[in-house]
Amino acid sequence: MSEYDPVDPPVALTVAGSDSGGGAGVQADLTAMRAHGVFGASVVTATTAQNTRGVEDVNPLPADHVASQYAAVADDFDVAAVKTGMLATAEVVETVTELVADFDAPLVVDPVMVAATGDRLLSPAAEDAYEDLVAAATLVTPNADEAAVLTGDPVETPADAEAAGRELVALGADAALVKGGHLSEGAVGEDVVVDTLVGAEGDSESGGPTVDRFETPRIDTDATHGSGCALSSAIAARLARGESVRGAVDVAVEEMTEAVRRGYDVGEGPGAVNPTVLGEE
């Protein structure tokens, strides 16, 4: 009989929707987390019928069942970081906000509000409910469209992204990463993506939150499905391992270029990013 030789990784939790096409949501989250050496647990907030061509149906789960899933995980695991993704309804957003209120570890909020097509995914009530969850976040990671929804101001340039990040920190988030993939290419150069991190290391010499910009090559592809999920999950995983917000963001943003470049060419529509390359040395 062989000797039992287990590993004891940190545990990270994703609270998000399920993607039947496998490219985003909980499926991408767990892949990214395990690529970074953490054990991923999950709370499913909604099931979707989708593939590489689009979303055909969304079925939000009852908020009390979401709470039951969270309680089951929290009762058994020493959760070192939580990441939220698609929360689907105002009731679920409010429930998750209550659940994490006493969570004494990093919380990464990926406010999934706007589809790649630009379509709004949440009702106005659900969007409004995000304010308290953002205020509880260690890091909030909106794309430009989502940052515009959260702040009420257009986000089209890196300067706009910085302003939005400052406003999100003023709302209570410890830090905000405004992702630059949706910024106007003319504002940043067609070959460059600029992600803006505000507030990661406390106050700057000027007295306001610190600001860091990360420039990475833009990959010539539409196959970016799951990029936001994988990025926020990679950051949460690295925070679960004890890294700083800035350090976790720096590595995860750099890795995302390779995850897009080596994406999955599957299905008849644009493919998905490849979270398995995250965490590679």
Check residue 260 and give its pLDDT.
95
- The order of strands in the sheet holding 11-19 is 54-60, 39-51, 11-19, 79-84, 107-109, 139-140, 176-178, 192-203, 209-217
State the Cα–Cα distance between residues 12 and 138, nearest whole angstrom: 14
Closest CA to 278 of 245, 243, 229: 229
Given a contact cutoff of 8 angstroms between Cβ atoms, the answer to whether 233 and 15 are in contact is no
Residue 165 included in any domain: yes
Residue 2 included in any domain: no
Length of the chain: 281
Domain that holds residue 208: 11-277
Residue 258 included in any domain: yes
Check residue 49 and give its pLDDT.
92
State the Cα–Cα distance between residues 221 and 248, nearest whole angstrom: 25
Q: What CATH number does residue 238 fall under?
A: 3.40.1190.20
pLDDT digits (tens, 9 = 90+) for 131-168: 999 999 999 999 999 999 999 999 999 999 999 999 99
Residue 211 included in any domain: yes
Residue 143 included in any domain: yes
Judged against a pLDDT cut of 60, whether residue 186 lies above it is answered with no
- Exposed e or buried b for every residue in 101-126, given b needs 16+ CB within 10 A? eebebbbbbbbbbbebeeeebbeeeb
Which tokens belong to 274? Answer: 């490849």
Confidence at 55, pLDDT banded by 50, 70, 90: confident
Encoded amino acid at 84, one letter: T
Judged against a pLDDT cut of 60, whether residue 190 lies above it is answered with yes
- Global model pTM greater than 0.85: yes
Residue 224 included in any domain: yes
The angle, 0 to 180 degrees and rounded to 10, between the axes of the packed helices 245-261 and 227-240 is 140
Closest CA to 277 of 262, 229, 264: 262
pLDDT digits (tens, 9 = 90+) for 62-101: 999 999 999 999 999 999 999 999 999 999 999 999 999 9
Q: How many CB atoms lie within 10 A of CB 265?
A: 11
Give the chain's domain count: 1
Check residue 20 and give its pLDDT.
95
Compute the average pLDDT of residues 173-194.
Answer: 81
Tokens 């959760």 belong to residue = 79
DSSP letter at 219 equals P
Residue 134 included in any domain: yes
Residue 3 included in any domain: no
- CA atoms 114, 181, 223, 36: torsion sign: negative
State the Cα–Cα distance between residues 217 and 220, nearest whole angstrom: 9
Segment among 133-142, 166-175, 183-192, 228-237 with least mean pLDDT: 183-192
CB half-sphere exposure, 201, CA atoms < 13 A:
12
Which tokens belong to 53? Answer: 């061509």
Which tokens belong to 82? Answer: 């939580």
State the Cα–Cα distance between residues 38 and 183, nearest whole angstrom: 32
